[in-house]
């Protein structure tokens, strides 16, 4: 009886989490560090930045570095309660005296960041897994994928992922983690951005090879593109979570 009650309560909690729509506003920032400065940048995040984000109402979601050792970047994802609060909370953070002191001290021997790239995003409500798998599930890598669609083809990519692609990824051993659509400054067509998790790069490439050869996928792809191609370009990057990243 106790086991049955526990199972029911667990199901109820999962159902409530799955049913609640994620209305947060996300920001993905990629910092290109100056030569030989990335370790110092990572230390600043570990010692100061994360806790000061949280202090000022900004949620830390994930922190990654590329598996490619020649790539001197750091990518992280933040969340705000909503779009309207983003600038307010960011300005609160950058004007925090504690942050200004940490920033100044960390750059005593020169600036750490050479370039900053920002992407603003909202959750793809129909695509996010029922249970967002961002807890630590053991050592794994992530794949950040960005899809640029042909004009007017966002609904088509959304339907294909919603009805088929995610399930076919899972069939080949890939974990669906999170899906977003970008919010473009000019109000233009969004891009699809998502994270997959793999055991390692070798396993990732093997899974995608099997996925592409799957007769079900070939049928779905061809059927969905009868009225024209959907995806114009795909960008992919393998990432390793940093030790302090909430998502691992």
Q: What is the pTM of this model?
A: 0.89
Average pLDDT over residues 163-179: 95
Is residue 132 over pLDDT 90?
no
Q: What are the backbone dihedrals phi and psi of residue 67, each rounded to the nearest 5 degrees, phi first?
A: -70, -25
19: confidence class by pLDDT, cuts 50, 70, 90? very low
**Tokens, residue 63:** 């922190």
Query: Do residues 141 and 65 touch, judged by C-beta distance below 8 A?
Result: no
- Return d(Cα 53, Cα 90) in angstroms, integer: 8
Summarize pLDDT for 200-236 with one digit per residue, the tens. 999 999 999 999 999 999 999 999 999 999 999 999 9
pLDDT for 11 equals 40
Instruction: Give the chain's domains with CATH numbers.
Output: 25-121 (3.30.70.100), 124-241 (3.30.70.100)
Task: Taking the CA atoms of 226, 127, 123 and 48 in sequence, report the sign of the dihedral they define.
Answer: negative
Is residue 8 over pLDDT 50?
no
Summarize pLDDT for 136-167 with one digit per residue, the tens. 466 899 999 999 999 999 999 999 999 999 99
Q: 115 has which bridge partners?
A: 32
**Residue whose structure tokens are 């053991």:** 138
Q: 240 has which bridge partners?
A: 65
- Return d(Cα 175, Cα 80) in angstroms, integer: 25
The candidate with the shortest Cα–Cα distance to 180, out of 69, 46, 26, is 26
Is residue 43 over pLDDT 50?
yes
CA-to-CA separations, 161 to 125, 193, 232, in angstroms, rounded: 12, 12, 16
């Amino acid at each position: 009886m106790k086991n049955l009650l526990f199972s029911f309560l667990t199901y109820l909690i999962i159902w409530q989490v799955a049913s609640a729509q994620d209305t947060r506003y996300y920001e993905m920032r990629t910092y290109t560090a100056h030569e030989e400065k990335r370790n110092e940048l990572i230390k600043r995040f570990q010692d100061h930045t994360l806790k000061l984000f949280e202090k000022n109402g900004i949620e830390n979601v994930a922190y990654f570095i590329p598996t490619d050792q020649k790539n001197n970047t750091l990518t992280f994802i933040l969340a705000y309660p909503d779009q309207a609060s983003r600038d307010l909370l960011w300005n609160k953070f950058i004007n925090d005296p504690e942050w200004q002191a940490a920033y100044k001290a960390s750059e005593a021997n020169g600036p750490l960041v050479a370039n900053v790239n920002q992407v603003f995003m909202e959750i793809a409500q129909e695509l996010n897994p029922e249970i967002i798998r961002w807890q630590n599930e053991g050592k794994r890598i992530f794949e950040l994928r960005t899809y640029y669609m042909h004009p007017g083809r966002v609904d088509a990519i959304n339907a294909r992922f919603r009805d088929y692609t995610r399930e076919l990824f899972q069939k080949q051993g890939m974990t669906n983690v999170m899906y977003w659509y970008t919010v473009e400054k000019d109000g233009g067509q969004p891009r699809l951005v998502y994270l997959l998790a793999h055991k390692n790069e070798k396993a990732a490439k093997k899974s995608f090879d099997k996925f592409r050869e799957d007769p079900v996928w070939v049928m779905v792809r061809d059927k969905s593109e009868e009225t024209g191609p959907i995806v114009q370009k795909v960008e992919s990057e393998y990432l390793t979570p940093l030790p302090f990243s909430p998502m691992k």
